[in-house]
Structure 1
Amino acid sequence: MVKLLTIEQASEILNVPKASLRTAAEEHGYLVRIGRAVRIDQDQLRDLVEKCKIPPIGETSSKKWPRNADLSEQRDIVDRCKKAVEKLKLQGRKKS
């Protein structure tokens, strides 16, 4: 039997903000929408956390791609880089 959690319940379990969890779950395809209800499968929380892990800085910086990275992993890496660049651009605008 599938156990679906609300965003609030899942965020309490993981000890993360609700908005951050919802964004990550949506980006990685872990949201379950039934009508207007939005839920996360409890059994997929561990997978979601694994998807959100950031590799150590020195681990991939000297390589173009991890050797065993498939296309979806490469897209995830590119997406994280784009978000980091946008964040830095916004920080630069705020200081000016």
Structure 2
Amino acid sequence: MAIYDQTKTPGDVYDTHTHLNDDALYHDVAAYVGRAREFRVMEMNVVGYDPKGNQRAIQIAHDFSDKGIRAIVGFQPEDTNKFDQSAEEVLRKQLS
């Protein structure tokens, strides 16, 4: 976990790994994005991990593309059995 030092003025930050697509955060993504911007987090990757998490990551990236939010799709090792040709096709359609 990064420690924020309020006595220093930070530069703009790119958060490479978030889970705004998680059930605990998904209900209020706009508030989390706004709060991150207060701390100068100007761009973020939302990382998918299963079909639902991937779909949400893509949706968040579409909804907040003007805020520098990007989706990364993937599967946790224990969920690779859920990935097949049809899952790939769904992801490709969602990404376009």
Both structures adopt the same fold (TM-score exceeding 0.5): no
Structure with the largest fraction of strand: 2
Structure-1-length-normalised TM-score? 0.24
Larger radius of gyration: 1
Higher percent of residues as helix: 1
